[in-house]
Amino acid sequence: MDSLQDLLGKYSPKEPPEILAIKKYIQEHFNAPSSIGMQGETAIVITVHSASLANTLRYHVPKLRAVCNGTKKRFLFRIG
């Protein structure tokens, strides 16, 4: 029987490609950390540290959709 530590060591969570693409876009264009998550199958939640960055990202939604291969999911912006 495997121990819990062995099982967790083998587990590697796979992030959806949309999350990786958005993180890369924000890092390249704004040089800022971000936290990206999925809310079910309908929305992508983008959390950044400043309100000004969150507002600026709202203007970049068409570019973010293009980076995500034209996703139809909603983008939710949070400050945190």
CATH number at residue 73: 3.30.300
Q: Name the residue among 53, 19, 12, 20 with its Cα closest to residue 37.
A: 19
Return the structure tokens found at 23.
Answer: 């993180």
| Residue scoring higher pLDDT (58 or 2) | 58
Is 46 domain-assigned?
yes
Residue 2 in any domain: the answer is no
User: What's the number of domains the chain is made of?
Assistant: 1
pLDDT digits 0-9 by tens, 28-75: 999 999 999 999 899 999 999 999 999 999 999 999 999 999 999 999
Confidence of residue 1 (pLDDT cuts 50, 70, 90): low
pTM, two decimal places = 0.82
Tell me, yes or no, whether 74 lies in a domain.
yes
Tell me which amino acid residue 31 is. Answer: N
Amino acid at 77: F
Residue 9 lies in a domain: no
Which domain does 45 fall in, by range? 15-79
CB 73, CB 64: distance < 8 Å? no
